[in-house]
Amino acid sequence: MLTVLVLLVGALAALGGAAMPLARSAAGARLVHAGCVAAGVVLAAGGLAGLLGGPAALELPFGPPWGPARLALDALSSWFLLPLGIAVACASLFALGGVHGAVPARELVPWPLFVAGMALTLLAADGFTLLLGFEAMSLASWVLVAHDHAQAENRRAARIYLVFAGFGGLALILACGLMAGGAGDVAFAAFRDAPPEGWRAAAVLALVLAGAGSKAGLAPLHVWLPLAHPAAPSHVSAVMSGAMTKVALYVLARFVFDLMGPAQPFWLGAPLIALGAASAVIGALRANLEEDTKTLLACSTIENVGLIAIGLGLALAFRGADLPALAALAAGAALLHVLNHAVFKTLLFLAAGEVLHGALSRRIDRLGGLIHRMPWTAWAALAGVAAAAALPPLSGFASEWLLLQALLSAWRVGDLAFQMGAAAATALAALATALAAAAMVRFWGLVFLGRPRTPRAAGAEESGGAVRIALVVPAVLTVLLGLVPGLMLDLAEPALRLMAGAAAPRADLLAVGAAEGGARYWPILVAALVAAAIGLVVWLVRRRAPAGVARGPAWDCGFMAPPHHLPFGDPATQPSAAGFGQPLRRMLGESLLAAREGVAMPPPGDTRPAVLESGFHDPALAALEGPLPRWREALATQAEKLRDLSIRQCLGLTFGAVVLMLALLAWLEGR
């Protein structure tokens, strides 16, 4: 299987090369995307095979100048291949349906390379190959983020994105170096043989958090994500949010759980939990304030990544505290959420892309009422929204139920400070979950419900064919994954053993359980129960109530009927994106995100409408664009003084160097 996957990576790279000429014709572009669909399917199949079969390793005949490139496929990487494959397949299918002519090469060529980079990262078995895939992934996606580089904000997004990518790469390289020690052998096997201890372990964790964490969107290095993900084409945004962040989390998990060895103290998990909780809250809150659909979804990605990070941190802490069963529980929650989030976030981004294509806007305030014009998109998106809002019995609830169970058991670690921190983290995780529900209601309700806010939204067109399939498939998957979490956990068992050294607590096939004899969650039974209840209600109502409904103008508290030139009434009398976010902006935004708002109220007798002005600053971005450039500029000013020297003074530098060196020699000789 590994060989197949390696060949696939090579084939994808070749496809990227071939895309240059193929981009000139629609058929060629379709061919490239079809190839990527197939690649996605093969990746997912490879993941399944890797989970069912045993691990495999491979040494390429070529590689960096100092040795062969090592590849391996074990349970962990196999598990992460699943979301990658699913996301890539769906996104490519979506893109395939969106091809209506020649595609700019800059949008087509990097796409297969991007996929290849992610796959290579998952398959790598030495530091160099890992970084190679990681950075190739970043570089290719950077081209895609910059595809529309005429807009200044896209250029800014691309710049920040690539700088962060380079920063993360350097941090990971340093981490590899620390792991390898003086030996300089960056093979994973060598890392496992000599796990770091004491300050080295802490430093490696910090570097990995800076490197992989920044890529995954963990606060406070998340600022690039809401900028870059929306700037890319929709199918790319879907994979960046759905799969690329997961690849980064894989790198994190690979280092922390596998390479650093099991003999690590429990507090190593604390920073992960703290950063995860912070990311979850910040992301979910921002999702409630953003007014651009894709940015909103990107922020919800930050929230979910935070939840996954909490799970990973808990697993690390439990393992350090020698509670393997609980570690498996937390790790299972994290892995399950990785898969679930990949699926429903891909779905949501694709839906946002379809809305952008159909209604020509990403701004919530220019959409509305689309459920009438784009029913397939709307209902498919509803499944994703419900999952993202953690509603039973959908996929999001299953993994977040497990995560909460793990959090509720965190006190067993025993350390008082950790217990208090964990209790706080529990509250924050619950807060983030509820905030996400609010954000999702805001997203779906404002985009698909209500009245069209612009003529273009009123005349939106939904595309069928491949695009429709690309939306329905992940929607169905979201429901299915929600119904059989137990099955998925059994599938993930080898990965859990690798991470936690134990299997997840056994529940029966259809359930997931907190612990032996602890609380359990039977999605199918719950679904059946709810369905039965609804059926009962429908039956009773049918028996008593008259059938059918009467249609009339909206009552709207008796406000006057709309004028004829506005058949649905004035769109401006609907809640706006800013207005819907107002309660949360006032409750949390003002304190956490320096949010501000003000109403421009015209004087009496003036017919201008009152306008609600609102906005916020992400403190992390402010820090990034405030002090850092200031310090850099101060240093540069000093450095420029050197540049402005005259020749005589430059010679003075040389002369000084000579004299200094001679004096040093004389001193050394003297001793």
Site for another protein in 375-414 (CB under 8 A): 386, 389-392, 397, 401, 404-405, 407-408, 411, 414
Which is nearer to another protein, 437 or 488 (by Cβ)? 437
Distance CA 175, CA 201 (A): 10
**Backbone angles phi and psi of 321, in degrees to 5:** -85, 10
Q: Is 349 in the site for another protein (CB under 8 A)?
A: no
Q: Does 476 bind another protein (CB under 8 A)?
A: no
Q: How far is CA 565 from CA 3, 58, 569, 571, 624, in A?
A: 65, 69, 8, 12, 49
Residue 57, classed as helix, strand or coil, is strand
- Of 59-67, 250-258, 461-469, 480-488, the window that binds another protein (rule: CB under 8 A) is 59-67
**Of 81-89, 233-241, 320-328, 448-456, which part binds another protein (CB under 8 A)?**
448-456
Q: Are 178 and 127 in contact (CB under 8 A)?
A: no
Shortest distance, CB of residue 212 to another protein, whole angstroms?
A: 16
Give the distance between the most distant pair of CA atoms in the chain: 109
Please give the size of the binding site for another protein, defined by CB under 8 A.
Answer: 160
For the bound state, the minimum distance from the C-beta of residue 569 to another protein, rounded and expressed in Å, comes to: 8
Sole window of 57-65, 70-78, 215-223, 267-275 interacting with another protein (rule: CB under 8 A): 57-65
Under the binding rule (CB under 8 A), the answer on residue 548 touching another protein is yes
**CA 359 to chain centroid:** 25
Rounded least distance, CB 529 to another protein, Å: 5
Stretch that binds another protein, among 25-33, 146-154, 291-299, 492-500 (CB under 8 A): 146-154
Q: Does 601 bind another protein (CB under 8 A)?
A: no
User: CA 194, 197, 202: angle at the middle one, nearest 5?
Assistant: 125
Cβ atoms of 135 and 169 within 8 Å: the answer is: yes
Strands 611-615, 596-600: pairing is antiparallel
CA gap 447, 464 in Å, rounded: 19
Q: Which of residues 64-103 bind another protein (CB under 8 A)?
A: 64-66
* For another protein, the closer CB: 27 or 647: 647
Which position among 182, 198, 464, 605 is part of the footprint of another protein (CB under 8 A)?
A: 182
Residues 612-651 that bind another protein (CB under 8 A): 632-633, 635-636, 638-640, 642-651
Among 155, 363, 456, 506, binds another protein (CB under 8 A): 155
For residue 390, the minimal CB distance to another protein (Å) is 7
541 belongs to the binding site for another protein (CB under 8 A): yes
Task: Check residue 514 for interaction with another protein (CB under 8 A).
Answer: yes
In this complex, which beta carbon is closest to another protein, that of residue 228 or of residue 390? 390
Q: Is 62 in the site for another protein (CB under 8 A)?
A: yes
Neighbour-count burial for 171-185, b at 16+ CB within 10 Å, e otherwise? bbbbbbebbbeeeeb
Instruction: Return all residues near 106 (Cβ < 8 A) that are at least 6 apart.
Output: 143, 147
Name which of residues 269 to 298 contact another protein (CB under 8 A). Answer: none
The residue among 223, 217, 36, 241 whose CA lies nearest residue 141 is 241
**Using alpha carbons only, what angle is made at residue 396 by residues 391 and 401, rounded to the nearest 5 degrees?**
80
Out of 18, 99, 115, 178, which residue is the one contacting another protein (CB under 8 A)?
178
